[in-house]
Copies of this chain bind each other. A is one copy, B any other.
Amino acid sequence: MTLMKSWVESANDPDGWFPLNNLPYGVFDDGKGPRTGAALGDKVLDLAALEEQGTVPAAGFRGGSLNAFMAAGPGSWERVRNALTRMLADGAEERDRVAGALHHQSDVTMLLPFVVSEFTDFYAGRHHASNVGTMFRGPENALPPNWLHMPIGYNGRASSVVISGTDVRRPWGQLKGPNDEVPRFAPSRRFDIELEMGAIVGQPSDGPLGVAEADANIFGYVLLNDWSARDIQAWEYQPLGPFQAKATATSISPWVVTKAALEPFRCNPPRREKELLPHLRDVGPMLHDIELEVTLEPEGGTEETIVRTNSRELYYSSAQQLAHHATSGCPMRVGDLIGTGTISGPERGSRGSLLELSWGGKEPLELAQGGARSFIEDGDRLTLRGFAQGDGYRIGFGDCTGKVLPALEDPYS
């Protein structure tokens, strides 16, 4: 596929994130209330206005979330995408009617694009699981015995999901180092990022789901940063898993890139070291070739890239994660957010967390601008970016960014 030309000129930049091929959905506010928009070049197309005009099929665009549109189902997703593609294409007759519904992205505020029903975070990146396992349990026990047989995940906290741009306050928590006699309650000193993708469930289910069915129920994808307090986690996680270490915030990018836009970028999973059980077996190319990066900008410093990797480094696809999630009969709902887990590549510069980049703090990451990082320092801004590279166009996700504020002086004052 090549660039689809639009009469919105800024959408035709081959290095831009939002060509007509993309058309991601988000929720914006220009002061007149939150509603659904689609990104195109440097513009937002007001879908609520088009719905009111009758220019696009009605799909709940006037609510403040994408949930109604997602619930409307794949037929509706396709009709709306086809209608938008037609009316925004170079030479479209509808140009005059539609032009009035375009706003500059810089004139609007982006809001959380959907009501997060529940948030689940997986651990589906093999390099990440191996790196963390090696640090915690030694190289011979790096991967837990179950890891190659199913996507391992845990339930996270939906209330803590925030839109890109939200500041994140360093949490307090119970900490106990291996040599401390008793724990203490203090601000986390090992606060970290996790570079992830998030899949959004667009259709409900109420029983086990095959992998192809699970894929069909996914509406789209966002970038996701699962902020993590490694020192809180180390003391709390046995035997029931991470809890407060992961509950401060999880940031997501404002635009939901649809599964449809990512179709040309599907790719196969890695070779399966252990044969998967039939219900989890690959039924086609379910991963995506998406270039990912993380930048760090110290307070008063400059932004520099600290990670480059690709989402094809995942071992299990989001579809496999969702299929596993439903095995027990667990009801899945519109708006469920499913994080992939940290996406790390094989080389040091492709590791998606500071824990891995600094090898648990033992090998601090040197910054090009001077200074070094073992974990996040107060005032640091961390930004995730990602795009799929097509032939003369890119499918971009928009920034997923957050700045870390100092911990509260006394959380109980």
Which residues of A are in contact with B by a Cβ distance under 8 Å?
117-118, 123, 133, 136, 144-146, 149-150, 152-160, 169, 171-174, 176, 182-185, 207-208, 210, 229, 232, 235-245, 247-249, 274, 277-279, 324-325, 327-333, 336, 408, 411-412
Contact = CB atoms under 8 A, between A and B. Distances in A.
Nearest to A206: B159
Nearest to A244: B328
Given A149-B183, A210-B412, 12 more contacts: A118-B157, A146-B236, A150-B183, A152-B239, A154-B154, A155-B155, A169-B329, A172-B327, A174-B277, A207-B411, A244-B325, A247-B330
A185 B325 contact: no
Given A159-B117, A243-B155, A333-B159, A171 B236 contact: no
A328 B171 contact: yes
Contact of A184 (B185, B243, B277, B331): B277
A171 B118 contact: no
A185 B277 contact: yes
A153 B243 CA distance: 7
The CB with the most chain B CB atoms within 10 A, among A153, A232, A237, A240, is that of A240
Most B CB within 10 A of own CB, among A152, A176, A239, A248: A239
Which label, helix, strand, loop or mixed, suits the secondary structure of the A interface?
loop
A118 B173 CA distance: 21
Nearest to A155: B155
A188 to B, nearest CB: 8
Contacts of A229: 328
22 contacts: A117-B159, A118-B118, A118-B159, A146-B183, A146-B236, A146-B238, A149-B182, A149-B183, A150-B174, A152-B236, A153-B240, A154-B154, A155-B156, A159-B333, A160-B330, A169-B329, A171-B329, A172-B208, A182-B274, A240-B241, A244-B330, A249-B329
Given A159-B333, A210-B412, A279-B185, A152 B328 contact: no
A159 B241 contact: no
Contact of A150 (B145, B159, B236, B333): B236
Contact of A328 (B173, B207, B241, B279): B173
A181 to B, nearest CB: 11
Contacts of A159: 117-118, 330-333, 336
Given A279-B185, A330-B159, A237 B236 contact: no
The 4 closest A-B pairs by CB, nearest first: A241-B241, A247-B330, A155-B155, A208-B411
A155 to B, nearest CB: 4
Contacts of A169: 329
A242 B242 CA distance: 11
Contacts of A133: 239
Contacts of A278: 185
Contact of A240 (B154, B184, B277): B154
Contacts of A238: 144-146
Contacts of A208: 172, 408, 411-412
A50 to B, nearest CB: 32
A55 to B, nearest CB: 35
A336 B159 CA distance: 10
Contacts of A144: 238-239
A153 B237 CA distance: 9
A90 to B, nearest CB: 44
Given A244-B324, A327-B171, A157 B160 contact: no
B183 A240 contact: no
Among A123, A169, A328, max chain B CB count under 10 A is at: A328
A300 to B, nearest CB: 25
